[in-house]
Amino acid sequence: MSIADIIGFTAAVICSVSMTPQVIKIYRTKKTQDLSLGAFSVLATGLFLWFVYGLLIHSIPVIAGNAIGASFTLYIIIMKIRHG
């Protein structure tokens, strides 16, 4: 594994889990007013495509990372629709 691979892998892991504090905050406060439904909808689409890309290249880290990221984003979208 090259330095580039390690940095790329770390970047993927960090981005995948990045919305965890946002999910926790929404779970606690049930407040989503300042969040943009458009932004998280676009993000969910992108993460889903990354997930499909992972399936096509048979990369477990890409599949797993983006499945987690897409699930978090979907939770944010559902809470945004529910709480406005």
Q: Return residues touching a second copy (CB under 8 A).
A: 3-4, 7-8, 10-15, 17-22, 24-26, 29, 31-40, 42-43, 45-47, 49-50, 52-53, 56-57
| Segments in the chain forming alpha helices (H) | 3-17, 20-29, 37-57, 60-83
* Distance of closest approach, residue 81 Cβ to a second copy, in angstroms: 14
Q: Which residues have C-beta within 8 Å of that of residue 84, sequence separation ≥ 6?
A: 32, 33
* Distance of closest approach, residue 66 Cβ to a second copy, in angstroms: 8
Q: Which of 69, 57, 56 is nearest to 12 (CA)?
A: 69
* Distance of closest approach, residue 73 Cβ to a second copy, in angstroms: 9
The distance from CA 58 to its chain's CA centroid, rounded to whole angstroms, is: 19
